[in-house]
Structure 1
């Protein structure tokens, strides 16, 4: 991290976290973020669900909720990015304050509640995105909706033509009863509708499923079977957690989803269990607590074909994606892996 980036982060720490996030978006619009380009090599080239990635380091949904800064984000070093979550109708989300920094824990807690400008505005921006780079959309449902399964279909119909993949997000803890959609019957019905809609797009795109970390072994096995049955193209493991064990920060007991360093072990164990249950049949994307090349490598060896991060940017800045890509390249070289795919799932047992 460069000195100017350290100073910028220190200044943002003096502000309300949500205000700081808004300023970070403005900085990207003004071209003030690092633009080192995307580091790639033969070792880092990744194919997941038919998508060719220059490296397996992705930006998780939640940072660029409204698809405002796709072009500058693609210059910071990410191999792919995911915008949203988008809902059919614009909604303000939950009452403020709803974002909390846990600096002692290198974590964040948010209870945003899918605040976004709605699928029409987001689709308009996606239609104007650069014609390079891999960009996905996180599909959400409105809080007030009486037919949430239909909401996912609506957003896919509207935004699908402008993205490279779409993620069915049934794992946010901040929309009441949303996680109920992870149950077998509800998830089967939801995914059946989404997959049918995907096939009707002029250009069918891969569909990913994002799951929660707060699942037991039986629930993970059930989701794996549902994902196989519906021919889901990849599973993202995991979203934020409701667990608060071991936290030290003053905001530790705020309601919402916890992300960042404390989530690493929990999310990686779910990832490994999911890798065991799917046995290579479905590509996995590991999310939760990644802030270094070593942690990215651990996710990969636990079964992930690619990884995503978000909260770590709060503490390490936008140069982090490029740093992790360079570091992962070196780790793969030292371990004599010709390509990152050769390392996928080589140490699942460490987390089972």
Structure 2
């Protein structure tokens, strides 16, 4: 019998990308509520992985962006993810950029989006997370700033979100790398990064003492950083002893798709064309950060082999998003099993370098 997603995909692809996104999430919620696990893929066998002081049921997670408001957490965990990252969330609700703002590139298993942190605000996300009934894995919450908040005031936005989500999150990601909020990536510049992350690290320790638990804080970086930018970012993140780094966000470049009409659409490119670039940045960060700072590899994973390549480049965990658009939930189990095989038999075969 063909997997349910293989049957549904042709119908979903008749819809525009953003409509299909919402239809898929509503359908997943309905299936989860009515049929439980009967119509969902069998979850992968447990592959416990200890990272960030947390035990992940398996090392394959959902990247931020698919569930910005944390409204579908139960259903997403039911697919078999070891961890789910919701957000990016901002202090105040915002509509994001004008539509259309999501575009498939099926011949390259890619997506271009310029959503722009569209979300209902951090208070709505908090209410949704508080209603979660069965958190089957690790929950990450990704925080950002509002579009109309100037960079010189961004710290207050991040601090507000950090304080609101801290009691509910297993880990928190600071998103300073989306290309779809004007000027956001300027916060990755060395001095701006040091000021922002330094302030958030102080707040993290203060909140840890107040709540009686220390929630790890990670920073998500862009794939478009130069080598000198990567070295500067690694220096700052090492000095400030962040708990982890996520490499990477989407790219403003158009590798492999520059000849297509859709390449003229503004926004971040994700999916298979991002794989080499994101993995190169991941590898460069791994060689520049102390081993005590783990890395999550994301960007371009459309197969189990891609997940293994991320591991070989230094990732402790991986995340998927755009690959799910084309492969569906089967991608999760495929990645888990490929990573399991590599960990159990690391000497078998050679994983070629990427980039």
Question: Deviations along 1:183-211, whole A, 9 cap, x unmatched?
Answer: 11111111112112212221320000000
Match of 2:332 in 1: 321
2:144 to 133, 140, 143: 140
Q: State how far apart, in whole Å, the 1-side matches of 2:268 and 2:346 are.
A: 35
Q: What does 1:203-282 correspond to in 2, within 5 Å?
A: 203-247=213-257, 248-282=259-293
Q: What does 1:299-314 correspond to in 2, within 5 Å?
A: 299-314=310-325
Query: 1:294 Cα shift?
Result: 1.0
Q: State how far apart, in whole Å, the 2-side matches of 1:80 and 1:4 are.
A: 22
2:164 to 158, 162, 166: 158
Whose relative contact order is higher, 1 or 2, with alpha carbons under 8 Å and at least 6 apart? 1
Match of 1:52 in 2: 55
Q: What does 1:59-78 correspond to in 2, within 5 Å?
A: 59-78=62-81
TM-score relative to the length of structure 2? 0.91
Q: Aligned pairs, how many?
A: 341
Contact between 2:303 and 2:335, CA under 8 Å: does it hold in 1? Answer: yes
Contact between 1:34 and 1:319, CA under 8 Å: does it hold in 2? Answer: no
Q: State how far apart, in whole Å, the 2-side matches of 1:2 and 1:237 are.
A: 34
Q: State how far apart, in whole Å, the 1-side matches of 2:67 and 2:21 are.
A: 10
Instruction: Name the stretch that deviates more: 29-38 or 189-198.
Output: 29-38
Match of 1:121 in 2: 124
TM-score relative to the length of structure 1? 0.92
Match of 1:182 in 2: 188
Unaligned runs of 5+ in 1: 338-342
Secondary structure of the corresponding residue to residue 151 of structure 1:
helix
- Deviant stretches of 4+, over 6 Å: none
Query: 1:24 Cα shift?
Result: 0.9
Q: State how far apart, in whole Å, the 1-side matches of 2:114 and 2:342 are.
A: 36
Unaligned runs of 5+ in 2: 33-38
Query: 1:326 Cα shift?
Result: 2.2
